[in-house]
Structure 1
Amino acid sequence: MKFTLDWLHDHLETDATLDMICDTLNRIGLEVEEVIDPAAKLAGFEVAEIIATEQHPDADRLKICTVQSGQGEQKLVCGAPNARAGLKGILANEGAVIPANGMVLGKAKIRGVESRGMMCSLAELELSEDHDGIIELPDTATIGTPAAEALGNHGFSVDPVIEIAITPNRPDCLGVRGIARDLAAAGLGILKADPVQAASSNFESDIKINVATPDCPVFAGRVVRGLTNGVSPDWLSARLQAIGQRPINTLVDITNYISFDRGRPLHVYDVTTLSGVVTARAGQAGEKFTALDDESYEIDENDCVIADDKSVLGFGGVMGGVASGASTTTTEVLVESAWFEPIAIANTGRRHGIDSDARYRFERGVDPQTVLSGLDQAVQMITELCGGEVSSLIQAGEVPDRQQVIAFDPARVKSLTGIDLTDDNIADILLRLGFDVTRQAEKWQVKAPSWRPDIHGSADLVEEVTRIYGLDNVPSVPLPSDANITQAIQTPEQTRTALARRVMAGSGLTEAVTWSFIAEPVALKFGGHPGLKLANPISSELSNMRPSLLPGLLQAAGRNVARGLSDFGLFEVGQVFTDATPGGQETVVAALRYGHAKPRDWSGKAEPLNLFSIKADALTLLAAYGVQAEALQVLRDAPDWYHPGQSGVLCRDPRTPLARFGALHPALLKDFDVAGPVMVCEIFPMAIPLPKKKPSRSKPVLSISPYQAVRRDFAFEVAADLPADKLIKAARGADKKLISNVTLFDAFTGVPGGQGALEAGMKSLAIEVTLSPMDATLTDAEIEAVADKVIQAVEKATGGKLRR
């Protein structure tokens, strides 16, 4: 919402400065977005007179002008067609900044002739779009007068323009008078009496109007005949131009002016274009009309239109039509003032993509009581500026009464805000804002003014009192502290979800967020349940709830590969759905790696990804959840979408998997058009048992052996299908007190008949066993004893034998 300072002074009697006005607007919730002061831009400009001209010797269209300014005579080169001796205009002196383009004016040579200064056009000073010639001021203009003063004295707007942000709940401030009312209530001045008087009629019009839709409960109008339409007076054009509105003709400019002055949209129809009764009704299929924006619109049955017996004249409350609009030849008009339901106007505007000032106001809520007062203001201005005589009132329907009476306890002001005001202070603020207050012993009866459709309850009244009193006066009170709060704020699921994001990002993976819906064929490939199909899907490709996070990550990987990304990792934390029951969803962490574990560089070739790369990601997150890797079993029964020979399941109990990892099945990658291999893992945070609230016994946080560790290597010949972790687990359990770590460092199958050949169906697994004594340095005998235990434990658990 834009308005000029002098426009505000039409409604507000105040001595406040521009800065004080802006500060008060911000304080009462009408945020000032920008202040444009044209006068500040005109520093360095003054009135000057061209006292002589001569033709430029090297340019037919240029003249050399001798100019008299407040600083004396100077010569400049001018190309304006109206440059002539005796013309008084605006001179830009050296050092002045041209508002239109920001150019700093300096001394220059134009076609060999020195030029000092420039005579300016209206466009160059951003006062209008007219750039055909330099400004011509009346002969009464005084040479040397500052440009801002001279232009203001001769009909040009150089007044500061204030732009404020209007929240949707304040339609009353979409008019200058509403803003003035709020400023007066805030103590910045006195709201002037309304100068609009009830219109007097000179004749009865033959035009009839009607309402035939609940979207327009009241439609009023008056006919003005014998008028002369034309160019608006300077003051009216200047005000509209200052706020960015293009003057069209006097009749249209008057309706635009009242829209910004009172927040009351109006429309004028050329009576000669009307046929029969003018009706506000619902649209009919097949109707169309050309609006004032020169666009043709097909009408919907849900639209509220204004129509006569012949055709549609326009969308009610949104935009009128070209055919019935007022032109410079119009001599008789019907002035329309109506009230429309906000939701109907909003729907029509959205449906047809029309953004107009009328729609902007009606969909937020125009004051119903301005139906008649706005009409009176319009005919008053029309007769003053265009002449003519006014008909009696033509009205269909009744002005709706939307004012609410609210039971209000003034003590709520203090209870909600902490502001300690007397009842008299509270009542005074409400009265200044236009509320009708009836003070009673228990609760007041407060009637909201017709221009405040946003007031519905006592909390709204408290808000009004608070913003006028001043939000900066609300005391700052700390919230009470409660030392008895012992419960965790986050649930275990929330804690583990946040931890997963930190850990996976720390592992070099990038978080992805994918759809919770996937196509049914994809869902079935990942074990989807038939009952998870949506009844009303967004599209056929988003028809089922996802049973796994992997489809979304795989599709994201495919898009990245298609764009040339070669090595990357993604992860996602989200819900998966196993069935349609309330408990059939689970939080899962999934990760995907594509490309190489180590890219090619000067130190060697690229190293391809393998399942151990992704297994490390799963183990890293499980370790963050407190799960020890040595306590886990590795099983081979991964789901069908994993590669059967390159995948595994991590668990403590085979019935409860904690994670799955491995390569995706090649056939699945082919369906997704992604060249493999692609390594993925899925971790199930909520499958991990929660730690006990009270541990049964305390354990040291860190235990380090003070003695030298001892390492011994063993190689065992075992069955080829034996899982290596079974051997490792057996070796670790041989002496839990001394053995701190067991690692596999070699796996060998051998060549039949060759050196070191193994029996058919056998393989060799070599392990390193670390002994960490806590009490004393181990002797050779103790070391040998532990080695024997390891050999016996492995042979017993695996059926293998030590290789000699």
Structure 2
Amino acid sequence: MQFPESWLRAYCNPPLTTQQIADTLTMGGMEVEELRPVAPPFTKVVVGEIKEAVQHPNADRLRACQVDVGQGALLNIVCGAPNARPGIRVPTALVGAVLPPGEDGQPFAIKLGKLRGVESQGMLCSARELKLSEDHAGLLELDASAAIGADIREVLQLDDHVFTLKLTPNLAHALSVYGVARELSALTGAPLKEPKFEPVQPVNDARLKVKVTAPDLCGRFSGRVIRNVDTQAKTPQWMVERLARCGQRSVTALVDISNYVMFEFGRPSHIFDFDKIHGALDVRWGRPGEQLKLLNGTTIAVDEKVGVIADEREVESLAGIMGGDATAVSDATKNVYVEAAFWWPEAVQGRSRRYNFSTDAGHRFERGVDPSRTVEHIEYITRLVQEICGGEAGPMDDQQVKLPERKPVQLRVARAAKVIGMPVTEAQCLDAFARLQLPASANAGVITVTPPPYRFDLAIEEDLIEEVTRIVGYSALPTTPPLAPITAKLPPENRRSRFAVRRLLAALGYQETINFSFVEAHWEQDLAGNTDPIKLLNPIASQMSVMRSSLVGSLLQALKFNLDRKAERVRVFELGRVFLRDASVQTTDTTVRGVRQPMKVAGLAYGDPDGLQWARKATHGDFYDMKGDVQALLSPLQAEFAAAQHPAMHPGRCAAVRVDGREVGFVGELHPRWRQKWELPHAPFVFELDLDAVAARRVPQFEPVPRFQPAERDIAVIVGEKVTHDQLLAAIRSADTGGLLRDAFLFDVYKPQQASAGLGLNEKSLAVRLTLARSDATLTDEQIETAVRAVVERVTTQLGGRLRG
């Protein structure tokens, strides 16, 4: 919300400086994001009228102008502007004037000089030279009523400031100059100038039949026909300047009037070309297949979720957002229809985003606009139209279909004091509501407030507490130390923090990425096998339409982004939430019914594991590099890996990761199909684990240093070729060794090229080192042999193996 200080002071003029007003508004909940002067400082620039402009004798593009600046004698000023002509009044910098700094940053002083042999006694100025705008196509033409010789700063009110407010969505009542003035009056106690809307007497019986068939779209619709309007009339300079300081450029007189009333009172309205409307208007929801060409030139398709204003032939306007091109006013327009309506906020919210644009009208209607003043504002618009463009007004048409019910809200004074954190009395609360023009009554410590029609943000007790706090003043709140001691909450030792997990992955050479939780629908189908993802009702982009159930797609996108920029080695990870359908989940403070939201940690590695180095040949890594990273991440927990299938992974190079018998994720190489689809030169390796499993860790237990030396025995067993390392070690650890086995380590694998004595082609020899020990005594040879024999017997019975040799 942007507006000039002078317009604000026209309604409420407290005895405060500009900066004090800004501070007051900010502390009142309306943050002043920017405060800037309308124009930079400059001196001795007055209104001058060009009396004569003749061709310069020595330059084709220059004119010698005789300018009246109210000093009696005319000044001779050489000017090169294309619009320099007799009869116009323009800013004139006299000799000795100091203009705003130019591109070199230095102030520009006007001196008496000669241009191509002709003396110049000043300078005629453009808007850009005075730093009023970027327009430098010609001289800044002033209103013909501007007094000759008057200071240009007074004529254009340049000693003014522009406020830019950063308003929260609940402050719809402050989206106008009058609304801000009303708040400023309440905050400072300065009187508020109430506007008067004198009714315009109709002089004809011209009417437009309007039918409101969607009361859930439009609660009130008011309108009036005005005949014989001069649409080519010029917008007054005072209105152009006020609009410009609100960030709105002048278009035509009728459009400017509509915009002016919107900025002044927060009332968006629309003016139709009455003669272009076919029959009656119907305010309704759109229908599938209908189209509308908007004022901005785009053609959109509407449906039953979008409100429209239609005539008997076609859709003419997008309800509460933008008018249509077919009924737009033009220079040929003679008769207009002025409309002001109350659109339900729920019926306007989100509609602009569907078409990728936003309007000032939609911004206000989706937050709530006063439904009680539609007729008064049309009267005001009518009077402005007649003053500027002429015209003959018809009778007012006002249909009240369904207005919002303003339910009373109660405030307990004792609770207000508790929430605010300082004592407040019933009288203070009533005074605050009176200053805010909120009807209130008190009974036994309970104040009942009936919100006025323009306050859509007062619905619960906390809203009223906030209003009391704003008026009492946040600066008046006491600084109270906490009553209870503050003690740090120590995390349990058996869990890592998320920060610790991030540091560990960074130490392994990975870099963290942060991605959106909504992804492309085909990622879910391809990479997670999820045929029924959770869809977004209103995605911010068409390619981000579903909630992710896996982090893999986000990491692949980060990889593709880096490879497109010639990265040779990429190692990235993400800690993030995924979203899965789960009917058992109920709605709580942290959950949503039907949706489970676990945290996951995922990593991706591409390229040489160690980067470029001289001592080894560059490789692209393999499954075991990524497996090692997963083991390091889970350590000291012992992870188990079992062959598995995953939609995103290579069918023969993927393993499920298990901890304590529970599956916690997977690790593997990307499927060749997806490598080809993503156009990756080589397949990356990916893991994804439950964050809870990664965060868990065992607390170290004290054990004394063994007093007795362990014994080591090496055995070589012959097993079938399909027997895995994990199967072998599982069989060895399950052997009954009387608790002597401390460790088993595979150190050699032998596969014959051809069948040999004792070893077939479909067999292999696995050499394992066994570590045996007791904590209370030295092992005897008999105990060692018995333990080794138990291991061999278990391998034989469980895996069909035999001792080699």
TM normalised by structure 1 equals 0.74
- Please give the residue correspondences for 1:456-471 in structure 2 after superposition, counting only pairs within 5 Å: 456-471=459-474
- Please give the residue correspondences for 1:588-667 in structure 2 after superposition, counting only pairs within 5 Å: 593-606=605-618, 609=621, 612-624=624-636, 627=637, 638-639=643-644
Residue number in structure 1 paired with 2:323: 320
Residue number in structure 2 paired with 1:46: 45
Q: Which has the larger radius of gyration?
A: 1
Distance 1:763 1:104, change over 3 A: farther
Q: Describe the superposition over 1:330-372 as per-residue Cα deviations: whole angstroms up to 9, x where unpaired.
A: 5554433332222333465455555333222222211111112
Which of residues 242, 246, 250 in structure 2 aligns to 1:247?
250
Compute the displacement of 1:427 (Å): 0.6
User: d(CA) in 2 for partners of 1:699 and 1:211?
Assistant: 81
Residue number in structure 2 paired with 1:372: 375
Residue number in structure 2 paired with 1:121: 126
* Contact in 1 for aligned 2:293/2:325 (Cα 8 Å): yes
SS at match of 1:465: helix
Identity percentage of aligned residues:
29
Whichever residue aligns with residue 615 of structure 2, its letter is: S
Q: Which deviates more from structure 2 when the two are superposed, residues 555-564 or residues 420-429?
A: 555-564
User: d(CA) in 1 for partners of 2:581 and 2:366?
Assistant: 45
Correspondence 1:206 to 2:218: no
Distance 1:729 1:598, change over 3 A: farther
User: d(CA) in 1 for partners of 2:581 and 2:161?
Assistant: 65
SS at match of 2:168: coil
Whichever residue aligns with residue 412 of structure 1, its letter is: R
Distance 1:297 1:48, change over 3 A: closer
Q: Describe the superposition over 1:497-542 as per-residue Cα deviations: whole angstroms up to 9, x where unpaired.
A: 765444333322345779798779868xx9x8xxx75288799x99
Distance 1:99 1:226, change over 3 A: farther
Compute the displacement of 1:464 (Å): 0.9
Residue number in structure 2 paired with 1:447: 450
Q: Describe the superposition over 1:146-179 as per-residue Cα deviations: whole angstroms up to 9, x where unpaired.
A: xxxx224334655212111232222211121111
Residue number in structure 2 paired with 1:18: 18
Q: Describe the superposition over 1:742-761 as per-residue Cα deviations: whole angstroms up to 9, x where unpaired.
A: 8766667799999xx99887
Whichever residue aligns with residue 177 of structure 1, its letter is: Y
User: d(CA) in 2 for partners of 1:688 and 1:311?
Assistant: 62
Whichever residue aligns with residue 162 of structure 2, its letter is: V
Which of residues 417, 420, 431 in structure 2 aligns to 1:428?
431
Residue number in structure 1 paired with 2:37: 37
User: d(CA) in 2 for partners of 1:491 and 1:771?
Assistant: 30
Q: Describe the superposition over 1:32-73 as per-residue Cα deviations: whole angstroms up to 9, x where unpaired.
A: 12223123x143563497999997787421358899999xx9
Q: Which deviates more from structure 2 when the two are superposed, residues 154-163 or residues 544-553?
A: 544-553
SS at match of 2:371: coil
User: d(CA) in 2 for partners of 1:384 and 1:547?
Assistant: 63
Distance 1:25 1:544, change over 3 A: closer
Compute the displacement of 1:452 (Å): 0.4
Distance 1:56 1:714, change over 3 A: farther
Residue number in structure 2 paired with 1:164: 165
Q: Which deviates more from structure 2 when the two are superposed, residues 120-129 or residues 15-24?
A: 120-129
User: d(CA) in 2 for partners of 1:283 and 1:684?
Assistant: 47
Compute the displacement of 1:232 (Å): 2.0
* Contact in 2 for aligned 1:32/1:164 (Cα 8 Å): yes
Compute the displacement of 1:428 (Å): 1.1
Residue number in structure 2 paired with 1:719: 718
Correspondence 1:414 to 2:422: no
Residue number in structure 2 paired with 1:534: 532
Distance 1:181 1:713, change over 3 A: same
Whichever residue aligns with residue 508 of structure 2, its letter is: S
* Contact in 1 for aligned 2:126/2:140 (Cα 8 Å): yes
SS at match of 1:178: helix
User: d(CA) in 1 for partners of 2:187 and 2:320?
Assistant: 32
SS at match of 2:475: helix
SS at match of 2:399: strand
Whichever residue aligns with residue 205 of structure 1, its letter is: D
User: d(CA) in 2 for partners of 1:364 and 1:389?
Assistant: 34
- Please give the residue correspondences for 1:472-621 in structure 2 after superposition, counting only pairs within 5 Å: 472-477=475-480, 481=484, 495=496, 500-510=501-511, 533-534=531-532, 566-570=568-572, 593-606=605-618, 609=621, 612-621=624-633
User: d(CA) in 2 for partners of 1:396 and 1:205?
Assistant: 17
TM normalised by structure 2 equals 0.74
SS at match of 1:407: strand
User: d(CA) in 2 for partners of 1:285 and 1:717?
Assistant: 77
- Please give the residue correspondences for 1:736-755 in structure 2 after superposition, counting only pairs within 5 Å: none
* Contact in 2 for aligned 1:710/1:771 (Cα 8 Å): yes
Q: Which deviates more from structure 2 when the two are superposed, residues 713-722 or residues 109-118?
A: 109-118
Distance 1:16 1:188, change over 3 A: farther
User: d(CA) in 1 for partners of 2:298 and 2:243?
Assistant: 24
User: d(CA) in 1 for partners of 2:688 and 2:159?
Assistant: 68
SS at match of 1:186: helix
* Contact in 2 for aligned 1:318/1:354 (Cα 8 Å): no
Q: Structure 2 unaligned segments of length 5 or more: list them.
A: 586-594, 794-801
Distance 1:592 1:733, change over 3 A: farther
Q: Which deviates more from structure 2 when the two are superposed, residues 436-445 or residues 734-743?
A: 734-743
SS at match of 1:314: strand
Residue number in structure 1 paired with 2:188: 187
Residue number in structure 2 paired with 1:779: none
Correspondence 1:134 to 2:139: yes
Whichever residue aligns with residue 33 of structure 2, its letter is: E
User: d(CA) in 2 for partners of 1:100 and 1:377?
Assistant: 44
Whichever residue aligns with residue 268 of structure 1, its letter is: I
SS at match of 2:223: strand
* Contact in 2 for aligned 1:662/1:679 (Cα 8 Å): yes
* Contact in 2 for aligned 1:66/1:76 (Cα 8 Å): yes
* Contact in 2 for aligned 1:368/1:399 (Cα 8 Å): no
- Please give the residue correspondences for 1:731-770 in structure 2 after superposition, counting only pairs within 5 Å: 765=767
User: d(CA) in 1 for partners of 2:551 and 2:328?
Assistant: 60
**Aligned length in residues:** 763
User: d(CA) in 2 for partners of 1:304 and 1:648?
Assistant: 54
Distance 1:253 1:442, change over 3 A: same
Which of residues 788, 791, 797 in structure 1 aligns to 2:791?
797
User: d(CA) in 1 for partners of 2:488 and 2:804?
Assistant: 60
Q: Describe the superposition over 1:561-593 as per-residue Cα deviations: whole angstroms up to 9, x where unpaired.
A: 787655444556679999988599987766554
Compute the displacement of 1:375 (Å): 1.9
User: d(CA) in 1 for partners of 2:323 and 2:547?
Assistant: 48
SS at match of 2:410: strand
User: d(CA) in 1 for partners of 2:270 and 2:309?
Assistant: 11
Residue number in structure 1 paired with 2:219: 217
Q: Which deviates more from structure 2 when the two are superposed, residues 315-324 or residues 86-95?
A: 86-95
Residue number in structure 2 paired with 1:700: 702
User: d(CA) in 2 for partners of 1:566 and 1:327?
Assistant: 60
SS at match of 1:434: coil
User: d(CA) in 1 for partners of 2:548 and 2:163?
Assistant: 53
User: d(CA) in 1 for partners of 2:694 and 2:293?
Assistant: 68
User: d(CA) in 2 for partners of 1:183 and 1:763?
Assistant: 89
